[in-house]
Structure 1
Amino acid sequence: MEMRPFSLDTVSKAFLVGAGFSPRQAEVVLRYRDASGGIRSEEQFRRCYVVSDEMADRLLPYIMFTADEVPADDVADDISMVADKAVRALVEINTADSAALISVRGIGPKSVTAIMRYRELLGGFYSVKQLAELDVVTESNYERILTQICCDSCKISKIDINFADPKELIRHPYVSAKALRRIVKQRQLKGGWSGIEEMIDDDIFGREEAERLAPYLRFVRDTIN
């Protein structure tokens, strides 16, 4: 496919497949985009675990991020200023303290405690949609809450899956006891993994489970024998 400038916020699965992704990888990119509320920078694009360095280097010259598409005139500057103010008014859920969270309409004292506890267990949120996993966030409040918050996924803490203590792993809400047993056993046999796809191939995680956990994992094998 002849490459032309494109925006990741509007591309289709078919376009991504034509650009070199497999159909499954294209679906992951689109889910990552939707969960993040858009892909706004090179760094954010590279953080998607199915985007290899080679793929990123090949596509980045053609990708137009939101900032690249804003015309440099007075009207655009005014719009940008309004947008910046709106973003600053949102509560960033990875750094918000209890006072900031309680200021969000739809979040009460009980919800604040649950959100902060869940944030600690996860290592931070990579998507505002993760709040829906909490029982205290009711369906009626969920949509209202989403309009008042944002999420900086750079704030999350990552687990070195090849070296992490089993006690650390089992504390994570996305790691089941069954997965932990497989991790420990396979890690002893092979030393570790180079990426999440390898863990899926080894039947450590199902694909849906892996995609949910992947943002929290770091793969370091330099010192593994």
Structure 2
Amino acid sequence: MRAAWPYRFRLWPSARGFVGWGVGVLLAGATAFWASQGRRAAVLLPDSVQVEVNKADSLRLLSVPGMTPGIVSRLLYWRQSLGGFRELDELSLLIDTRRWEQAAPFLRVSPKGLADTVRWDLQTVDSATLVRVGFCRPRAAGRFVRYRAKRRGFRSWAELDSLQSLHPLERYRLRRWGLLTWQSASMWGWQFRPPCLDLNRATPAELEKLPGIGLYTAQRIVRYREKLRYFVSLDQLHEVWGLRPENLEKARPFLYVGSPLREPLRLREAPAKSLAAHPYISWKLARQLVRRRNAWGPSPIPPEVWKSWLPDSLRDRVEPYLTGD
């Protein structure tokens, strides 16, 4: 016979065993973590060394006491977005208080080589300048300009602070390097009126200043103008993707169509690819025009002839962009 075991095995440890094991693992992990933090602060970076934040890479920044991978990635993002840091106080807006107290003695900021620090009038500065001098990111700059136009200028810093889309670092730079001229703010009440712009010559920065037009819409208008070669009517703005009718009505009083800067397409010389690049001309129509042009010969094509080559539905739209000379 087999000898009977004097005791019975437990298949699973008791609840106390589970709790004791978990507490031991947590204590061991916490002890190892704080020991590694102390070693990093004491060994990796001596007290006499300071890291230049505008030039250091991620590994160098990680050697600073109090730095974590999340904080380092945040610093690198804002350094790239705004073109570098100007003052050490700006870093305190990106690092929590406890870690900032650990890291501050080991950091320094040198603004050498950054954009100029001239103080700009926030009542008149455009979004392109805000991005160039490192005040805001492109999207935040566009929102700033639109918000300023909606409020008809800023009358106090509290109105500027009410713009929630600004990051604290962007708001700090606007206050630090921006000016609010109260006289120009009063002009927004009844006297301010945006200048009338020639739609065939206006730049995106100029178009963005108009009511109802933002940065991306202004860029789309200019790109569509390049495809058309020039505008012949303000009604063509309805064809710009993303420009809503109500916003177009706001900007329309400040726009007019001047003489074109480019010449129309020469039907006798333009290849099919150039003709088809126009928004109003399809590849099928471009090939038909080339075949009829070749059949006509090298002599100039009278307007009544080449106009008859165009479909009735497109004749009025395409006619201003072609010439038979």
In the alignment, structure 1 residue 198 sits paired with structure 2 residue 305? yes
**Residue number among 223, 228, 232 corresponding to 1:126 in the alignment:** 232
Quickly say closer, same or farther: Cα 1:208–1:196, change in 2 above 3 A.
farther
Following the alignment from structure 1 to structure 2, what is the Cα–Cα distance between the partners of residues 176 and 190? 21
Following the alignment from structure 1 to structure 2, what is the Cα–Cα distance between the partners of residues 196 and 142? 34
Q: How far does residue 196 in structure 1 lie from its aligned partner after superposition?
A: 4.1
- Equivalent residue number for residue 165 of structure 1: 271
- Equivalent residue number for residue 211 of structure 1: 316
In structure 2, stretches of 5+ residues that fail to align are 1-193
- Equivalent residue number for residue 244 of structure 2: 138
Contact kept in structure 2, 1:91 and 1:104, CA below 8 Å: no
Question: SS at the partner of 1:206?
Answer: coil
Can you list the C-alpha shifts for 1:60-117, whole angstroms capped at 9, x where unaligned? xxxxxxxxxxxxxxxxxxxxxxxxxxxx930111111111110111111121111111
Q: How does 1:39-78 map to 2 (within 5 A)?
A: none
Q: Which has the higher contact order (CA 8 A, sep 6+)?
A: 1
Contact kept in structure 2, 1:194 and 1:219, CA below 8 Å: yes
Quickly say closer, same or farther: Cα 1:210–1:153, change in 2 above 3 A.
farther
Q: How far does residue 216 in structure 1 lie from its aligned partner after superposition?
A: 1.4
Question: SS at the partner of 2:293?
Answer: helix
Q: How far does residue 118 in structure 1 lie from its aligned partner after superposition?
A: 0.6
AA partner of residue 319 (structure 2) = A
TM-score by length of 2: 0.38
In the alignment, structure 1 residue 91 sits paired with structure 2 residue 194? no
Identity %, equivalent residues: 29
Contact kept in structure 2, 1:200 and 1:207, CA below 8 Å: no
Following the alignment from structure 2 to structure 1, what is the Cα–Cα distance between the partners of residues 200 and 216? 18
Contact kept in structure 1, 2:303 and 2:323, CA below 8 Å: no
Question: SS at the partner of 1:205?
Answer: coil
Can you list the C-alpha shifts for 1:28-76, whole angstroms capped at 9, x where unaligned? xxxxxxxxxxxxxxxxxxxxxxxxxxxxxxxxxxxxxxxxxxxxxxxxx
Q: How far does residue 135 in structure 1 lie from its aligned partner after superposition?
A: 2.2
Give the count of matched residue pairs.
Answer: 132
In structure 1, stretches of 5+ residues that fail to align are 1-87, 221-225
AA partner of residue 112 (structure 1) = A
TM-score by length of 1: 0.54
Following the alignment from structure 2 to structure 1, what is the Cα–Cα distance between the partners of residues 235 and 213? 15
Question: SS at the partner of 2:270?
Answer: coil
Q: What is the Cα-based RMSD across aligned positions, in Å?
A: 2.1
Following the alignment from structure 2 to structure 1, what is the Cα–Cα distance between the partners of residues 243 and 259? 20
Q: How does 1:106-121 map to 2 (within 5 A)?
A: 106-121=212-227
Following the alignment from structure 1 to structure 2, what is the Cα–Cα distance between the partners of residues 156 and 215? 12
Question: SS at the partner of 1:120?
Answer: helix
